[in-house]
Structures are given as structure tokens and as C-alpha cells.
Amino acid sequence: MDISVEMKNAVGLYETPLLHQTSFWSLVKQLQGVKTLAFDIKVPSSDMIDGPLKDHYQVDDVLVLLQRIGHGRTIGYVPYGPAIKPLQERYGMFLESLSESLRPFVGKNCIMLRYDIPWESPWADDEDTYDEYGDWIGPPDPSVQEMRLNFATQHWNLRKASTDILPTDTTFVSLREPSETILKNMKNKTRYNIQLSSRKHVQVRPGSLEDIEIFYDLYRQTCKRNGINLHDKFYFEAMFKAAVTNRHPQEGFDMLVAEINKEPLSAMFLTYSDSRATYLFGASASYGRETMSTYALQWEAIQRAQAHRCTEYDMFGTAPNRDESHPMHGLYRFKMGFGGRAFHRMGCWDYPLDNDAYHQYTATEMVGQGYHSR
């Protein structure tokens, strides 16, 4: 497969529903101390899809984050990218060719490229990956996945990462219908809890940088309650700072705070990117759960996303199915209640550039596996 790449300024990244592939996200990561690289991609259409496509090309771009891992080494991490994709049977060839094209640009100390692939899993269409209740069981063992993805590649070098960074399982709520129809499509309990939050006098307001302490206190409670690693406060402050200098009006966010009588109960970051809104970060107090403030928060988010002319809402992370033993089962019940459709991404895939350093790093990484909070 013949792919050409050309480095460019991240300000020139194309508009995309994938927040993590935007110039706004590049600014956020730079403010968090991460080096970002942006590249134009050009590939013959005949390499991507079938048909009479002589002299036709597909053009897109990709954002790469150069993350330091110590000892002068880095990882080229591609968050929810690339957006452009070939036919399923050419996934591996495409990723291999793209990786080899990027190799000269990421530096000799970059031990691998890690793609957090946003494409739907090829096994999501396989009847054998669903149980008798229609629940997604998940893809097969990594060795089987690797065999499929590496088929017809030259180097057989794609590896399923031992951990996923961004959520692989999510639910998309369509925003194309009127809000009354969206409400009607929700589970009865979800609809009832939205109404209950109103009767409890929960108010949702937009927040600002001055409210970051409110969000962070709620976030600290959430992490403690659920055993999630706590990000530093500057991780969230970077969102506000990036919004000041971002040049793309279709990219941005709202921080929303739900409260009763100015008592904060829950909060969230709602992002906008092209036609998609995303529930990026959420936090709630360990008290006042009976107010159903999180339902009021989501209902406000849906209405704001519609006002921004978004056509879909990514609720960003659930359990893969209704298995009650899964640590994210509560999120699954909560988010699926809003009437969305389940979507299963491929997760993280590695392309080693330095095999010895890669194996050394991944051996250490496996020891610290766990859920990552973006």
C-alpha cells in the first residue's frame, strides 16, 4: 500500500467528529506538556476500496502525541486515529504502511506507534461474539486478532496492546430527532429520573475556569469511590486555556454543574467536535444521590449538543455488556438508559519500531494494567 505523509502545523488539522484528532485536542495536550505532531495523509483510493479509481486519492490527516516514557524514549500515541479507514480486509496493510511512512518523523527514540483505533471492531458483525441474549461477548484472544489484522502485511508487526487507553465500548445517542422523541426512546426509569431531578429542583448551569475547584472536588470524590487514578488539576485547566487560543469554532466544550441551592452535586465536560458531542469527563458527589442530578446533567448535555447542531452524542465509555460483575456495570446501566446504540471500537494496537525496547516496555506495562481515565 502506497501512503505518503507530510508534516504540518496542528492548527491545520481538518474538522472531524473525533475530538482527540482535532487542533483543539492538540492544544490541550501541549498545555499538559505533551509534544504533538500532525501529518497530512494521501493514499490511492484503489488501495483503500474496490472500484474503478485510477488517479483518485483519499486525503486526510492524523494527530500523533509523542509521550515520554523515561530514559529518553517516547511512544507515538494516536488517540482515536486515524479517522480515514480502508476496507476491513486491508486494515493491517494500511496501518503497516502508515507506520512505516511515519517512522522517519517520530525520531529514533520512539519505540512504537500505538493506535487507539476508533473504527468499529471487525468482530462486532460476527454472530459468534454475541451471547443468546444479544450481548457483546467481545473479540477473540489477542493472538487470533493479530492473525486477522496482520494478514497480507509484509512484516507481521501489528500487536494488540495489553491495555486500552481510551474507552473501547460506548453508546451513541442519535440527536437527529426532536428532544421529545429522544426522551421517548429512553428507558422508562431514565425518563422518570430526569423528571424526578426536576421535582427535586436540580439546576444545571454552565461553569467556567473559576468553577474548576468545584469540579475537581467532585472528581476527587468520584475517583476515591471508584478506584480511578486521580489526574492533576492542571489536566482539566488545560481545556479552558486551550479554548482561548483555538481557532476552530466547531471545536470546544462546556463544563456543566448540577446543583441544588448552589450546593454542587455533579459536573461534567461536554465537548463539541464537528457533528459529534462527547461526554468526556464526569464527576459526582458521594452525597445527594437521591436527587438524580446526573440525569439532569445528561439531559442538559443532550439539549446543548442539539443546539450546537451535533447529530450524535458519544457517552464515552461503558462496560461491553450487561454483565453485573464488570467494574463498569453501573455506567452501562446508566448510559444505556438514554436510548443509544452500543458501539465497540478496536482498542489499542501497537506497531513496534524498536523490538527490544518495545518488549521491555510492554512487560513492565502489563504489571500495571487497569482502567485508564483518559
Q: Where are the domains of the chain?
A: 4-165+346-367, 177-310
Give residue 368's pLDDT band: very low, low, confident or very high (50, 70, 90): low
Question: Is it the case that residue 192 has pLDDT exceeding 90?
Answer: yes
Confidence label for 304 from pLDDT (cuts 50, 70 and 90): very high
Q: Residue 54 — pLDDT band, cuts 50, 70, 90? A: low
Question: Which residues fall within 8 angstroms of residue 69, CB to CB, at 6 or more apart?
Answer: 75, 111, 361
pLDDT of residue 82: 96
For residue 307, give the nearest of 165, 178, 118 by alpha carbon: 178
User: For the structural domain made of 4-165+346-367, what CATH number should be given?
Assistant: 3.40.630.30
pLDDT tops 70 at residue 369: no
Pick the CATH number of 177-310 from 3.40.1520.20, 3.90.950.10, 3.40.630.40, 3.40.630.30: 3.40.630.30
User: pLDDT by residue (tens digit) across 164-178?
Assistant: 999 999 999 999 999
pLDDT above 70: residue 55: no
- On the question of a common fold for 4-165+346-367 and 177-310, the answer reads yes
pLDDT at 126 over 90: no
Checking 177-181 for CB contacts under 8 A at 24+ apart, the result is 179/302, 179/303, 179/306
Across the chain, what does the average pLDDT equal? 93
pLDDT at 328: 85
Using CA atoms, how far residue 176 sits from 245, 303, 309, 317, 324, in Å, is 30, 11, 9, 21, 32
Report the DSSP beta bridge partners of residue 344: 169
Give the count of alpha carbons within 13 A of 194, CB side only. 20
- The 10s digit of each residue's pLDDT in 75-118 is 999 999 999 999 999 999 999 999 999 999 999 999 999 999 99
